[in-house]
Structure 1
Amino acid sequence: MQNTSLDMARLAAMDTAEASRFLKGVRDATLNGRRSRVRPRADIQESWQRMLRGGVDPDRDHRAGLLPLEEIERRRLASPLREVLPVLRDGLVSIAEAAQHIMVVADTEGRLLWREGKAAVLRMGDAHGFVLGADWHEGLVGTNGVGTPLVTGRPLQVHAAEHFVSSHDTWTCAGAPVTDPRDGRLIGVVDISGPLSTMHPATLSLVTSVTRLAEAELRNSHFADLDQLRSVASPLLGRLRGRALAVDHNGWQAAVTGMPPTRRLPLPKSLNAGRLWLPSLGMCTVEPLPGGWLVRVEEESSEPAAPARVVLDLSRPRRPSVTVSGTAGSWVKELSPRHAELLYVLVLHRNGRSAAQLAQEIFQDPTRTVTVRAEMSRLRRHLAQILAHRPYRIVEEIEVELVRPDDPADLLPHSTAPAVVSARSRQE
Structure 2
Amino acid sequence: MATAMELLRAHELFVCTETVLPFVRPVVADSWRRCVTGRASRDDHGLPSVWMGADELADHRAQHPLASALPVFDSLLGGPADDSGHVFAISDADGTLLWVRGRAVALERAERMNFVEGAGWSESSAGTNAPGTALVVGHPVQVFSAEHYNEVVHPWSCSAAPIRDPVSGRILGAVDITGDESAAGPYALALVRAVAMAAEAELAGLRRPVRPGVRIRALGRDAAVLEVDGHVRTLSPRHSEILVVLALAQRGLSAGRLAVELSEVELGMSTVRAEMSRLRAVLGDALLGSRPYALRRPVSADFTGVVALLAEGRVRDAMAIYDGPLLPSSDAPFVREYRIALEQQIRGAVLASGDVQLLRRWVSAGWGADDAAAWQALAAHLPRGSAAHGAAVGRARGLLVGAP
Distance change (3 Å), C-alpha of 1:218 and 1:35: closer
Aligned equivalent of 1:81: 66
- Structure 2 counterpart of 1:63, from 44, 48, 52: 48
> What displacement does 1:179 show?
0.6
Q: Confirm or deny that 1:375 pairs with 2:291.
A: yes
Equivalent residues, number: 231
- Structure 1 counterpart of 2:25, from 29, 32, 41: 41
**Contact 1:100-1:198 at 8 Å conserved across structures:** no
Aligned equivalent of 1:179: 164
Length-normalised TM-score, structure 1: 0.49
- Structure 2 counterpart of 1:93, from 71, 78, 86: 78
Gaps of 5+ in 2: 213-250, 257-265, 277-288, 295-404
**Contact 1:61-1:167 at 8 Å conserved across structures:** no
Alpha-carbon distance in structure 2 between the residues aligned to 1:43 and 1:126: 26
| Rg larger in structure | 1
Alpha-carbon distance in structure 2 between the residues aligned to 1:198 and 1:111: 20
**Contact 1:155-1:176 at 8 Å conserved across structures:** yes
Please give the per-residue CA displacement for 1:37-70, whole angstroms capped at 9, x wherever unaligned: x421121111111111112232453322430112
The structure carrying a bigger helix percent of its residues is 2
Matched to 1:74, the amino acid is D
Gaps of 5+ in 1: 1-6, 12-18, 228-335, 342-362, 379-428
Aligned to 2:121, the other structure's residue is in SS state: coil
Distance change (3 Å), C-alpha of 1:376 and 1:87: closer
Percent sequence identity over matched residues? 30
> What displacement does 1:123 show?
0.1
Length-normalised TM-score, structure 2: 0.52
Aligned equivalent of 1:118: 103
Q: Confirm or deny that 1:27 pairs with 2:11.
A: yes
> What displacement does 1:135 show?
0.5
The structure carrying a bigger strand percent of its residues is 1
Distance change (3 Å), C-alpha of 1:73 and 1:226: farther
Segments of 4+ in structure 1 off by > 4 A? 196-199, 336-339, 363-366, 368-371
Aligned to 2:290, the other structure's residue is in SS state: helix
Please give the per-residue CA displacement for 1:87-128, whole angstroms capped at 9, x wherever unaligned: 111111110111110111111111111111100000001001
Distance change (3 Å), C-alpha of 1:163 and 1:123: same
**Contact 2:253-2:293 at 8 Å conserved across structures:** no
**Contact 2:89-2:99 at 8 Å conserved across structures:** yes
**Contact 1:174-1:203 at 8 Å conserved across structures:** yes
Aligned to 1:175, the other structure's residue is in SS state: strand
Q: Relative contact order (C-alpha < 8 Å, sep 6+): which is higher? A: 2
Aligned to 2:118, the other structure's residue is in SS state: coil
> What displacement does 1:30 show?
3.6
Distance change (3 Å), C-alpha of 1:146 and 1:34: closer
Aligned equivalent of 1:164: 149
Aligned equivalent of 1:130: 115
Distance change (3 Å), C-alpha of 1:51 and 1:35: closer
**Contact 1:171-1:194 at 8 Å conserved across structures:** yes
Please give the per-residue CA displacement for 1:175-207, whole angstroms capped at 9, x wherever unaligned: 111011122121110111114576533211111
Distance change (3 Å), C-alpha of 1:377 and 1:105: closer
Aligned equivalent of 2:368: none
Aligned equivalent of 1:231: none
